[in-house]
Structure 1
Amino acid sequence: MDPPKQAVPVISDGNTTDDTERQGPSENEKAVDTSPPLNQSISSWKWYSICVGLYLTAVLYGLDTSIAADVQGPVLESLGEIEKLSWVGIGFPMGSVATILLLGSLYGSFEIKWLYLASIILFEVGSAVCGAAPSMNAMIVGRVVAGVGGAGMYLGCLHYIAVFTSLKERALYNALVGLCWGTGCILGPVVGGAFASSGATWRWSFYINLVLAAVTAPVYILWFPRHNPQPTTPAREKLAAVDWVGAVLNAATFTLFMVVLAYAGTAWDWSSGGSIGLWVAFGFSLVSYAVQQAFCIFTTEQNRLFPVQFLKRRTMLLLYFTTASASASLFVTVYYVPLFFQFTENDSAIKAAVRLLPFITLNVSFTMVSGALLPVFGYYMPWYLPSGALMLIGGALMFVVKPTTSVGAIYGYEILIAVGSGLAAQLAYAIAPAKAKANETSAAIGFINVAQLGSIAIALAISGSIYQNLGLRYLRDALREFDYSQADLKSALAGAKSVILTHSDAHVRELAIGAIVKTISSLYGLVIAAAALTLVSAVLMRRERLQLEVAAG
């Protein structure tokens, strides 16, 4: 989930005591770029078609970010292996966060058209693998590949806008990217639920990407302009400058962390050799990555992948925490509210997805509102206080829900989380570049990208692990007097058509649903923790005013 910044930073008022943060612009930074934008050399109808192509990729990126929220049950029925089910949601953001820093580095050096087209192809290949998946392992591979391609599409979209539009109109084009992503995110659960409930089956939730890409393929291939940011530098020299060691360690660290969270306690016991080995491998990879980036081993300070310097700056760290918290709160709710209604109200996949629409719509709306009003008031710290408070209240109320809690009450609790997470979701994309030094703008955006995408993957991995481990324990305790196998318990936990939920008496179903709802409500402990982190971060933020310029209301 990764919409662009909604404001263009111009100047910080310098009200800060940390000399490693930006103190104010130089005279060159204050100057406005008056050179004509490159899109003026492109005919109007061709530029409009190019924009349609760009915004379609933003819609597809948003769609695939949330589409898995409502197809997990049907996927499990088809492919089995409940211990791997969480990867249907985890795989996509994990693929993105594992590669987005590398892709950003490549876009800064190589021909953007070929990178963009390669990303689209990779995304479509991943979607095709998901749609045709004969097993859960194939589904996982497809989701990861699609996530890598999706990150490349998103970055390519932003680079095209940055290169071919003027500074004045750029914020408008970026805001439209955010709007298109939000539209895709809203439609994701509905599209997934609609296909899962129809004769087309859940597989067309992924195949639809191929149809849309095929229709617009001529636009991408024939009309998209080329741009090489370093035309005089040989390709070999560009490749040598890339921090490949950092890229491998970055991908390995995130991947191992996701794997250990997904499998420890489910596929393997916590004390098993497999779990311990994964934790050791993750720790070694993390330490190696940290040392390699900190001391610029096999790279230079200018080319290293991760902006280590931001870890020494209070404001940048706090923006990282608040962005990660908002994204984690959003996606825990998006993935488990439909499951709650499928159990308690016996909803179909499409009906459960429709119930989620108010939540996502309000979240996206308040994301746009906060982004539009931030430049008007300038002060950023006050936005995070109500954000944390609303998420905390909503998360605490969802933490105590029961099967008998009314639908209206659930909607109300959701709204609190939706508004709270929406207020803080995208602000850092405008604030971080304003607080960074002049030559660190791209690094600042990448830093916040990692916070946002990384928190989605980590939150889904942790919540999936808790759901399977704690849910199995609660179900086993609730149904101890009945002779159900471990496979039956796992099947019921996934919402599949298990013996427990379809061929048992009302008392057994009531006990099982009570245990599952107790499990789902416990996941909102993550939202409570994220909200508390947002509130603490808000209190520690500077009471300063930034001057930000926007080109669109």
Structure 2
Amino acid sequence: MAALQDKDETKASSLADVSTGNGSSTPPADLHAPSDEKQLSEEPEPPARPDYLHGWKWALCIAAIVSSTFLYALDGTIIAVLQPQLIEEFGHIEDLAWLSVAFLLCATATNMGWGQFYGNFNAKWFYLFHIFVFEVGSAICGAAPSMNVLILGRVIAGIGGAGQYIGCMTIISTTTTMSERPVYISLTGFGWGLGTVLGPVIGGAFAQSSAGWRWSFYINLLIGAIYAPAWFFLIPNDRDPRPGTSLRARAAEIDYAGIVLQSAALVSLFLALNLGGVTLPWDSGRIIAMFVVAGVLAIALGVQQVFNLLTTEARRLLPVQFFKDRTVSILLACTAAASALINIPTFMIPLFFQLTRGDSPLDAGVRLLPFIVCMIVFFIVNGAFMSKLGYYQPWFLVGGCIVIVAASLMAFTVDQYTSVSRVYGFTVLIGAGTGMFAQAGFAIAQAVVPVDKIAPAIGIIGLAQFFGTTLFLALANSILLNDSQSKIQSILPYLSVDEIHQAILGTRSDIVKSLDSDLQSRVLAAIVGAIGKTYILVLVGGAIAAILSLAMRREKLFQGGASAPVAAMG
């Protein structure tokens, strides 16, 4: 009974600690060593939900919670087809990257920190706070009178979105038993996938309709209003992760130093990547200074975490012990690399078709569906067969090789005259290869570490996913703008930098439309060529997965009644 009591008390914070890096005070030398805590799973579990939360009320509660993950994913991809309209209305194409990167950067910088707060305070009200922040950001985006205000809205929505995603995972962990939890966590993956698929379609539909692009953001307010009663009245309010601990004591145990150092290091790095070559030259003193600051802060963060300065080993932000484990370290690198495979095509496919086929935003969004649907299908295939067969290394090797081939074809053979069927074929292959391993790291981590290390393992892999997404999108946007500008400048040397930035919009730009057919074709070829170069990053991501898979253990997991892998979307 004592074991059951301990289990019940710690269950409330099992996924709340996903982003905190919490673990036992003395990590074992071998993370693959079995844990005595696994014996707890053989004993009956106590009820996880209050008496009132059953039947239709429970179904509505879960739908409301998962909706926040859907909205977060929707906001991540909805911007992909809106960029030409936004630039035409506001200008400032040099700030184009920030429409996506600002959202992701803020999510990456705050992800681990929010997890610590969820692990110490009432999850319901902290979750509602983040939903409010996300909705405020969405309202600002919808009403934005300028590009700068729109970027500000994306910043606020990114902060709130990351917090509400962690809150979704936390509340599910405190209202489900361990045996049923994978089923409900998988619903968050479905919500994420659905939001990712529908983002470009919904964005394109609004941009093309009389409602206008602003409703692509206002839709978040409408969905939020529908689910607000369920959020307020159905989510339990009695799930205290640390009963009996004063608010002052809880606040004192947050790793503020780690949060500040991590956030500052990431902001400095991504500022340099986004401003370099577009707003400022790469050899500019300010760009160099930002890289130096990012490096110094990263070193300071490492020292602070390793030596537990201003924190404790149990409460430090990052679970440093995982960097010593071969399997987890490889999973971190592959998960970060997979972000390039997912996000670069998501943004570049609609842009390619808008430029080369004159597609409307809606049509361009629909063109993205073969890639994303194929990828989600292979997420499911990977989860089912990896669980049944047990081996995980071949998925990374085969998937990585498929991506290498398909990304090479996209990067080096596609131009503005390439047939639609060929482009579909290449992007479907990228989607299939990506789906084979992009989300597998979350499931593998849960199987190769002891039970008491599962939460921080998932947390740090989630951080790798956020980091990879932000990094690769920043690099892709930099390549697109820098390479396009350089080539167009050689074709049209009499144009100013601002006019060249407008010309990057291709056939939607009045500057390009005023040119004769030969010059139009050359300018369009320059932009499509720059889009092709962004797929070199996709090729690199596939190569990382394939090469590192050769260093993976040839072990068999998920056997003996283990739960099937769950796609935890980040």
Partner residue of 1:478 out of 491, 496, 506: 491
Secondary structure of 2:558 counterpart: strand
Q: Which residue of 2 aligns with 1:417?
A: 430
The residue that corresponds to 1:163 in the other structure is: 174
1:493 aligns with 2:490: no
Q: Which of 232, 253, 257 is residue 265 of structure 2 equivalent to? A: 253
Q: How far 1:551 sits from its partner (Å)?
A: 6.9
CA distance in 2, matches of 1:29, 1:517: 57
Corresponding residue pairs, total: 535
Q: TM-score, normalised by structure 2?
A: 0.91
**2-structure distance, mates of 1:380, 1:30:** 26
Deviation per CA, 1:465-499: give whole Å up to 9, x if none: 1111111001112334xx32222211121458423
Structure 1 segment 42-121 matched on structure 2, within 5 A: 42-121=53-132
Matched, 1:328 2:322: no
**Residue 22 of structure 2 corresponds to which residue in structure 1?**
none
Stretch deviating more after TM superposition (29-38 or 536-545): 29-38
Superposition deviation, residue 381 in structure 1: 0.7
Distance in structure 2 (CA, Å) of the matches to 1:351 and 1:519: 22
How far did 1:271 drift? 2.2
State whether residues 262 and 461 of structure 1, in contact with CA within 8 Å, keep that contact through their aligned partners in structure 2.
yes
- Which residue, out of 385, 388, 406, partners 1:394? 406
Match of 1:429 in 2: 442
Matches within 5 A, 1:121-160: 121-160=132-171
Structure 1 residue 203 corresponds to structure 2 residue 214:
yes
Percent of aligned pairs sharing the same letter: 39
Q: CA deviation at 1:547?
A: 2.5
The residue that corresponds to 1:23 in the other structure is 33
Which amino acid counterpart does residue 48 of structure 2 have in structure 1?
A: L
Query: Within 5 A, what are the aligned runs for 1:283-322?
Result: 283-322=295-334
State the alpha-carbon separation in 1 of the partners of residues 38 and 276 from structure 2: 53
8 Å CA contact retained: 2:126, 2:167 = yes
**Cα drift, residue 233 of structure 1:** 0.9
Q: Secondary structure at the match of 1:547?
A: coil
Alpha-carbon distance, 1:117 to partner: 0.3
Q: What letter matches 1:68 in structure 2? A: I
SS of aligned partner of 1:408: helix
Cα shift at 1:272: 2.1
Is 1:177–2:188 an aligned residue pair?
Answer: yes
Between the aligned partners of 2:270 and 2:213, the Cα distance in structure 1 is 24
Paired residues of 1:326 and 1:425 also in contact (CA < 8 A) = yes
Relative to structure 1, is the Cα distance of residues 387 and 552 closer, same or farther in structure 2, using a 3 angstrom cutoff? closer
CA-CA distance at 1:62 after TM superposition: 1.4
> Displacement of 1:105 after TM fit?
1.3
Q: For the residues of structure 2 that align with 1:403 and 1:385, how far apart are their CA atoms?
A: 32
What letter is aligned with 2:102? G
| Greater Cα offset, 499-508 or 374-383 | 499-508
Query: What TM-score comes out, normalization by structure 1 length?
Result: 0.93
1:436, distance to aligned residue in structure 2 (A): 2.2
Asked if 1:440 is matched to 2:450, the reply is no
Distance 2:203 2:121 in 1: 36
Two-structure CA RMSD over aligned residues (Å): 1.8
Q: Classify the secondary structure of the residue corresponding to 1:463.
A: helix
**Residues 104-127 of structure 1: per-residue CA shift (max 9 Å, x gap):** 111111111011101100111111
Q: 1:242 aligns with which of 245, 254, 258?
A: 254
Which amino acid in the other structure matches residue 389 of structure 2?
F
How far apart are residue 27 of structure 1 and its match? 6.0
On the 8 A contact 2:447/2:557 being kept in 1, the answer is: yes
Instruction: State the 1:40 CA deviation.
Output: 5.5
User: Which residue does 1:13 correspond to in 2?
Assistant: none
Question: Retained in 2: the 8 A contact 1:22–1:437?
Answer: yes
Do the aligned residues in 2 keep the contact of 1:119 with 1:152 (CA within 8 Å)? yes
Separation in 1, partners of 2:523, 2:544 = 33
For 2:337, give the aligned amino acid. Answer: S
How far 1:504 sits from its partner (Å)? 2.0
Check conservation: 1:29, 1:438, Cα contact below 8 A. no
Give the aligned partner of residue 12 of structure 1.
none
The reply to whether residue 262 of structure 1 matches residue 274 of structure 2 is yes
Write out per-residue CA displacement over residues 172-222 of structure 1, whole angstroms, 9 at most, x where no aligned residue: 111111111101100001111111122222211111101111122111112
Are 1:37 and 2:50 counterparts? Answer: no
Confirm or deny: 8 A CA contact 2:443 2:565 kept in the other structure. no
TM-fit CA distance, 1:28: 4.5
- Paired with 2:564 and 2:458, the residues of 1 have a C-alpha distance of 19
Q: Distance in 2 between matches of 1:478 and 1:277?
A: 33
Counterpart for residue 480 of structure 2: 467
Q: Aligned pair in 2 of structure 1 residues 311, 511: CA closer, same or farther (>3 Å)?
A: same
Counterpart position of 1:356: 368
Range that drifts further, 169-178 or 184-193: 169-178
Distance 2:322 2:193 in 1: 28
User: d(CA) in 2 for partners of 1:249 and 1:540?
Assistant: 32
Q: By how many angstroms is 1:95 displaced?
A: 1.3
Find the partner of 1:512 among 503, 508, 523: 523
Alignment correspondent of 2:5: none
Mapped to 2, the partners of 1:34 and 1:232 lie a distance apart of: 26
Distance 1:99 1:32, change over 3 A: farther
For residue 452 of structure 1, the aligned residue among 465, 479, 490 is 465
Q: Which moved more, 1:162-171 or 1:387-396?
A: 162-171
Report the Cα offset of residue 39 of structure 1. Answer: 2.4
The equivalent residue for 1:11 is none
Aligned residues of 2:120 and 2:250 also touching (Cα < 8 A): yes
Work out the CA distance in 2 between the residues paired with 1:236 and 1:390.
53
> Structure 1's 501 and 237: CA in aligned 2 closer, same or farther, altered over 3 A?
same
Deviations 1:337-373 (A, max 9, x none): 1111111111111111101111111111111221122
Identify unmatched segments of 5+ residues in structure 1. Answer: 6-17
Kindly state the Cα deviation for residue 413 of structure 1 after the two structures are TM-superposed. 0.5
Selected match of 1:407 from 417, 420, 438 = 420
Alignment partner, residue 10 of structure 1: none
Please state how far the C-alpha of 1:277 moved relative to its aligned partner. 2.4
Amino acid corresponding to residue 337 of structure 1 in structure 2: I
Structure 1 ranges of 4+ moved more than 6 A? none
Contact 1:472 1:493 in 2 (8 A): yes
Contact 2:406 2:430 in 1 (8 A): yes
Match of 2:553 among 539, 542, 547: 542
In structure 2, relative to structure 1, the CA distance for the partners of 1:170 and 1:27 (3 Å cut) is closer
**Conserved? CA contact 2:69–2:164, under 8 Å:** yes
One-letter code of the match for 1:164?
Answer: T
Amino acid at match of 1:444: A
